[in-house]
Homo-oligomer: A and B are copies of this chain.
Amino acid sequence: MIGHIKPLINLIGELKRLPGIGPRSAERIAYSILDMDEEAVAGIGKALMDAKINIKRCPVCFSITDEIPCRICMDPIRDKSVICVVENAKDVIALEKAGNYKGFYHVLEGSLSPGRNVGPDNLRMKELLERLDKGVFREVIIALNPNVEGEATAMYLNMLLKPFSLKVTRIAHGLPIGGELEFADEMTLMYAFEDRKVL
């Protein structure tokens, strides 16, 4: 019988396309829509389109923004001599939440992955080199994910950056704060020992 209520089937199908929404959650959300008032449902639809239409990539750092260039790139107070390279716009947001970094960003829009056919030309590598050429940067901080793709991308980037007389650093790997040593994986412990600091 549910198979006959086309608008419901259609809505469940559309919702299932979203990440983390399985068939059961899609059904649950679809039913909840029926109990909401029309204005609230219209609000969700409008917010979806608004976000889609008004959020763009910044043409300078390639993070997401609703102003072009983005507020970070236009911020006169930020440290113009440091640039932090990340994989995704989400990483920029995470680092901004942490709040202690005050330089600029460059979003690669991914990491090198031969398996998924992502090579240097699919990432914002060229744009990074152009920025470094034009700018007055003295340090590039590599803040890519500590996994195989991220490490490979970091190594490739380090090679590309050699011709520039820049300090190239990467963010520290080690035990996460609040984590417990006995539950840490071997790679994390290895990094934690390698990157140990003199107190």
Contact = CB atoms under 8 A, between A and B. Distances in A.
A151 B25 CA distance: 27
B44 A48 contact: yes
Which secondary structure dominates where chain A touches chain B? Answer: helix
A42 interface: yes
A54 interface: yes
B64 A5 contact: yes
Count of chain copies: 2
A47 B45 CA distance: 9
A34 B51 CA distance: 7
Interface in A1-47: 1-2, 4-8, 10-11, 13-15, 17-21, 25, 28-34, 36, 38, 40-47
A21 B29 contact: yes
Contacts of A47: 7, 10-11, 13-15
19 contacts: A1-B71, A4-B71, A7-B47, A7-B51, A7-B53, A7-B55, A8-B51, A8-B64, A10-B47, A10-B50, A10-B51, A11-B47, A11-B51, A14-B43, A14-B48, A20-B29, A34-B89, A42-B49, A44-B48
Interface of A: 1-2, 4-8, 10-11, 13-15, 17-21, 25, 28-34, 36, 38, 40-55, 64-66, 71-72, 89-90, 92-93, 96-97
